[in-house]
Amino acid sequence: MDAEEKTTPRQVNPSQLIQLVLFVSIRIIINTAYRMIYPFLPAFAAGMGVSIQQASLALTGRSLIAMAGPAVAPVADRYGRKIGMLLGLGLFTIGVSLVALRPSYPAFFAALVLANFGNQVFLPAMQAYLGDRLPYERRGGVLAVTEMSWSLSFIILVPLAGLLIARLGWASPFLFLSLLSLLVLGLLALILPSDRSGATADQTRVGIRKGIARVFANPVARAALLFSLVITIANEIVNLVFGVWMNDAFQLDIAALGIAAIIVGAAELSGETAAAVLVDRVGKKRVIRVGLAVTSLASLALPLLGESVLGALIGLFGFYVGFELALVSFIPLMTEVSPQARATLMAVNMATLSLGRAAGALSGSWLYTFGFWANAAAALALNLLAFFLLKRVRAGTGED
């Protein structure tokens, strides 16, 4: 039985609400720069006069830079959350502005790397900021709302980026994002209170090496990071091949695959919304277990449901709802695992998620050579392992 009891969270105050709206807006902008590359990669490549393979190298560079995030993100533990967020958003702004100022392949490559690196710095600082100011019993709903920016970016700004490309050229979304990021950077500097002097003496003394060493010396933090790694691999080994699987099984055209992508986006938003509503009221671990159970059942059912298009879409919807529910509900628990090095742990967690996506991508394609059932079985096994790891994760307050 979890120590965490059901609660009825209080509403955020007006100042916190303004900050929350700003954080969600910033993350929608950042996530748009990340997500728009996939559907419009051919247009970007054609505009730059390079091959798809060359353009894809920029995505590889973007993924690799995520591993460097923990080297810089801990500045938020040492110098304050606001400084960390401004640094991260500033790096993102510089990145997307490069293409706006000089549309070219080198600028595109640098933009993707810098933009993602900025996100690796901004996001842990933002999560640590909310962790510092919101009581644990009502932190989950607010953090889940910020995570809705992932699906909202795909719904709101990614389609707009497509319209801009069609009318104004391949570099136009970067100009648009650079203007938006400059605006929110100014708002962040004006609205967010300085927190450097408010940091605890312990936080101020935490250097980068000490912060990372503290994270890996904590057995609960290690279990939490392993949990993130395992569920991300489980998700990615299905995420990587579901389009190929549906095409192989049903010979779907591009339009039909697009509908499948919409189903995935709807599932992501549903999982994030459910987490925002339930995580503080029902309890973090309870909701995480529900998410793991849903995605495990979907993994078990997918090969069977895959006899029809409708069945495959239902299975995929359940798989992605469960994953988002588990992952988003895990974030507030993670923010309380090591409060003295909160931003550092969240930065290491982001690098862990990137490592999980990379490992899932490598293993997912290999597993698919045996058939989609192998991907589904591996996802099921990894999610069952995640149940075991979750038992070893607890909040620093002693609550589950």
pLDDT tens per residue across span 43-89? 899 999 998 888 888 887 888 888 787 777 677 877 889 999 999 99
How far are the Cα atoms of 256, 286, 311, 314, 315 from residue 308, in angstroms, in the given order? 14, 33, 5, 10, 11
| ∠ Cα 340 345 347 (to 5°) | 130
Has residue 178 got a pLDDT over 60?
yes
- The mean per-residue pLDDT over the stretch 362-388 comes to 92
How many CA atoms lie within 13 Å of 274's alpha carbon, on the beta-carbon side? 21
Of the candidates 199, 127, 186, 147, the one whose C-alpha atom is nearest the C-alpha of residue 30 is: 147
Say which residue the tokens 């919409």 belong to. Answer: 262
DSSP H helix total and E strand total for the chain: 19, 0
- Structural domains in the chain, CATH included, are 10-204 (1.20.1250.20), 206-395 (1.20.1250.20)
* Percent of the chain with pLDDT strictly greater than 90: 50
> How many residues are given for the chain?
400
Listed range (49-58, 286-295, 381-390) with the worst mean pLDDT: 49-58
Has residue 156 got a pLDDT over 90?
no
For residue 178, the one-letter residue type is S
pLDDT tens track for 235-287: 989 887 777 787 777 776 655 655 676 787 888 899 999 999 999 999 999 99
What local confidence, expressed as pLDDT, does residue 397 receive? 47
Say which residue the tokens 């699906």 belong to. Answer: 151
User: Cα-atom radius of gyration of the chain, to the nearest Å?
Assistant: 20
Listed range (118-127, 264-273, 355-364) with the worst mean pLDDT: 355-364
Has residue 350 got a pLDDT over 60?
yes
For residue 199, the one-letter residue type is A
Has residue 177 got a pLDDT over 60?
yes
Listed range (145-149, 255-259, 360-364) with the worst mean pLDDT: 255-259
Say which residue the tokens 């591009």 belong to. Answer: 254
Confidence of residue 344 (pLDDT cuts 50, 70, 90): confident
d(Cα 70, Cα 90) in Å, to the nearest integer? 17
In b/e form, how buried is each residue of 266-294, taking b as 16+ CB within 10 angstroms? ebbbbbbbbbbebbbbbbbbbbbbbbbeb
What local confidence, expressed as pLDDT, does residue 360 receive? 86
Helix axes 372-390, 219-239, angle to 10 degrees: 160
Find out whether 352 and 68 touch, Cβ atoms under 8 Å.
Answer: no
Two tokens, residue 225:
């990071």
Q: What is the mean pLDDT of the chain?
A: 86
Has residue 349 got a pLDDT over 70?
yes
Confidence of residue 203 (pLDDT cuts 50, 70, 90): very low
d(Cα 100, Cα 277) in Å, to the nearest integer? 39
Find out whether 114 and 72 touch, Cβ atoms under 8 Å.
Answer: no
pLDDT tens track for 11-41: 567 888 999 999 999 999 999 999 888 778 8
What local confidence, expressed as pLDDT, does residue 198 receive? 43
What local confidence, expressed as pLDDT, does residue 5 receive? 40
What local confidence, expressed as pLDDT, does residue 12 receive? 61
What local confidence, expressed as pLDDT, does residue 365 receive? 81
Cα dihedral 232, 224, 72, 23 in deg (nearest 10): 70
The DSSP element (H or E) to which 390 belongs, if any, is helix 372-390
Has residue 231 got a pLDDT over 90?
yes
Find out whether 90 and 119 touch, Cβ atoms under 8 Å.
Answer: no
Has residue 8 got a pLDDT over 70?
no
